[in-house]
Amino acid sequence: MSLPADVAAIQPADAPTARDTILTGDRPTGALHLGHYAGSLRTRVALQGRCPQTLLIADLQALTDASSRASQVAAHVEEVALDYLAAGIDPALTTIAVQSRLPALSELTVLYLNLVTVARLERNPTVKAEIELRGFARDIPAGFLCYPVSQAADISGFRATLVPVGDDQVPMIEQTNEIVRRVNRLAGTPVLPECRALLSSTPRLPGVDGRKASKSLGNAIPLGATPDDIRRLVQAMYTDSGHIRAADPGVVEGNVVFAYLDAFDPDAEAVAELKAGYRRGGMGDVVLKRRLVDVLEHLLAPLRARRAELAGDRAHVREVLREGSMRAIEVTRTVLRDVREVFGLEPH
């Protein structure tokens, strides 16, 4: 399968070597959207085959925040797998595994919990922000507070060295490395490798209304968007509230349409010209939005077609998950053995 132009063009600054192992994951709380695609998914597609790569559908992590919506989490596991496959993830090159099917990760989490303090967990900036967002106080689910530890188990459970994620996940990588160093110190020898984040060169995409893109706000563009969805969502995009008449100069910074053009229009020169014209005045929002609709339709049409094809063959998707999880069970089991030994739990 040939790579989409936007994927083929990716040259991450911190490109992997053949010695790297990639692991990353997503919570199955809903369909993936363009923010996931720009932030990490297209990097994963571009990197597959260069080194071993596993994508983890993190259903246990999703439950730390959505235990009341457990059946939805379960239902979304296959949807996320469909999104991966539609976006160009090839199961022959990339292992796709379901977190809850890998018991070694849960056992690693239990062991790692002894190496982390509650104070440290409460200081994790991502967890802190999420606690505020959800208004948690003492009623915070213990599993939620501890999910960085489970994420450290996900990453180290595959001996991963490279983690393609959005910038909000950097504190998780730091906390993983702290745990890895503690395990190695206990062992007196490097049992586990440290890892580094692989950040996207695209800044985080806003939702169509300029707020943080979120499934619950309905302001993200799903990878499965129909041509009508695309038109409607682009139509609703915030541009520059001061740009009333086409003849007026417009502002590019903070303009959501330009954020998306920067992320997805393969013709950077044309976008630069559009920006210059918009700043000068004489260019209406309609022109920009029409271009963005074309760019997104061009990007998403093949994904949509592949998704429709795959959605008709659920048995295949289930088989991909079964096979990937089986492979991952083996890998994570050997890591768990080594860590159990560090804690004196393996018979000699």
Closest CA to 165 of 286, 23, 291: 23
- The Cα-based distances of 326 to 320, 329, 347 in angstroms read 10, 5, 25
DSSP labels, 289-331: HHHHHHHHHHHHHHHHHHHHHHHT-HHHHHHHHHHHHHHHHHH
| 33 forms part of the interface with ligand TRP (CB under 6 A) | no
How far apart are CB 70 and ligand TRP at their closest, in Å?
Answer: 17
| Centroid of chain to Cα 307 | 19
| 20 forms part of the interface with ligand TRP (CB under 6 A) | no
Q: Which of 6, 26, 78, 79 binds ligand TRP (CB under 6 A)?
A: 26
| 95 forms part of the interface with ligand TRP (CB under 6 A) | no
| 34 forms part of the interface with ligand TRP (CB under 6 A) | no
Q: Which of 27, 44, 101, 159 binds ligand TRP (CB under 6 A)?
A: 27
Q: Which of 85, 165, 233, 310 binds ligand TRP (CB under 6 A)?
A: 165
Give every CB contact of residue 340 below 8 A, 6+ residues apart in sequence: 107, 111, 346
Closest CA to 198 of 46, 317, 58: 46
How far apart are CB 23 and ligand TRP at their closest, in Å?
Answer: 6
Distance, in Å, from the CA atom of 274 to the CA atom of 303, rounded to the nearest integer, reads 27
DSSP state of 206: B
Stretch that binds ligand TRP, among 24-32, 70-78, 217-225, 256-264 (CB under 6 A): 24-32
| 151 forms part of the interface with ligand TRP (CB under 6 A) | yes
| 63 forms part of the interface with ligand TRP (CB under 6 A) | no
How far apart are CB 148 and ligand TRP at their closest, in Å?
Answer: 9
Residues that bind ligand TRP in the complex, under the rule CB under 6 A = 23-27, 56, 58, 61, 151, 154-155, 163, 165, 169
